[in-house]
């Protein structure tokens, strides 16, 4: 393993002469270490490789900024790696939320008249259901509030499938008549 003076000399060659052999030696020494460091911090492998490449490009472009009197080359590169990782996390967080996503926009307020009509209709349906025979209410509840199929209801209640269908049809005929009569009263 090269010592700090040898590494500093390689950086000086990169800074002064764009020495590719010196850079290759630095790359071979530091790239696997930086990649491993980033992965230990929880960076996904692909992103760690990309960030490692960015760190090494920074070394190539800014080798003249390295000052061996202030820190070792390893400290300088790992600090760059850490900062790149932090920048990456910040970018991911800010791009994860699209403030224009319709899910984040408030829903349109329900029109007052439509809301009142819906509440009135629901109340009429509840009242109309009270007037139905209990066996029909039970089948309507199973079919439309619990989502069972006619076959499932027939099996559950031990009734022939035709009986289930006819009772539900009778219930709807009675409900429709009550609701139509109520609607006529409302329009008068």
DSSP character at residue 162: H
Name the phi and psi angles at 160, rounded to 5: -65, 145
Q: What is the mean pLDDT of the chain?
A: 85
Q: In total, how many domains does the chain have?
A: 2
Q: Which tokens sit at 68? A: 């061996």
Residues 6+ positions from 26 with CB-CB distance below 8 Å? 7, 10, 11, 14, 56, 59, 73
Q: Give me the pLDDT at residue 186, please.
A: 61
138 and 87 together in one domain: no
Tell me whether residue 82 is in a domain.
yes
Kindly report, residue by residue over 81-132, the tens digit of the pLDDT. Answer: 999 998 888 877 655 555 665 655 666 666 777 778 788 878 887 888 888 8
Domain containing residue 45: 4-96
Q: Give me the pLDDT at residue 112, please.
A: 75
Q: Which of residues 96, 112, 136 is at a domain's end?
A: 96
Q: Which tokens sit at 28? A: 């071979």
Q: Using a cut of 0.75, tell me whether the model's pTM lies above it.
A: no
Tell me whether residue 111 is in a domain.
no
Name the phi and psi angles at 133, rounded to 5: -60, 145
pLDDT above 90: residue 28: yes
Q: Give me the pLDDT at residue 120, please.
A: 82
């Amino acid at each position: 393993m090269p010592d700090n003076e040898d590494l500093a000399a390689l950086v000086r060659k990169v800074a002064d002469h764009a020495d590719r052999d010196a850079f290759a030696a630095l790359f071979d020494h530091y790239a696997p270490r930086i990649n491993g460091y980033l992965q230990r911090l929880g960076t996904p492998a692909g992103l760690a490789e990309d960030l490692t490449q960015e760190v090494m490009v920074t070394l190539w472009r800014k080798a003249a900024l390295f000052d061996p009197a202030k820190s070792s080359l390893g400290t300088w590169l790992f600090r760059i790696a850490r900062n790149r990782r932090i920048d990456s996390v910040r970018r991911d967080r800010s791009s994860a939320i699209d403030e224009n996503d319709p899910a984040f926009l408030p829903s349109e307020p329900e029109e007052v008249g439509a809301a009142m009509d819906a509440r009135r209709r629901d109340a009429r349906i509840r009242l109309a259901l009270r007037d139905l025979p209990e066996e029909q209410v039970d089948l309507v509840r199973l079919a439309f509030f619990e989502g069972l199929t006619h076959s499932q209801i027939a099996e559950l209640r031990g009734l022939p499938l035709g009986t289930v269908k006819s009772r539900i049809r009778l219930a709807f005929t009675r409900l429709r008549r009550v609701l139509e009569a109520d609607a006529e009263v409302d329009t008068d």
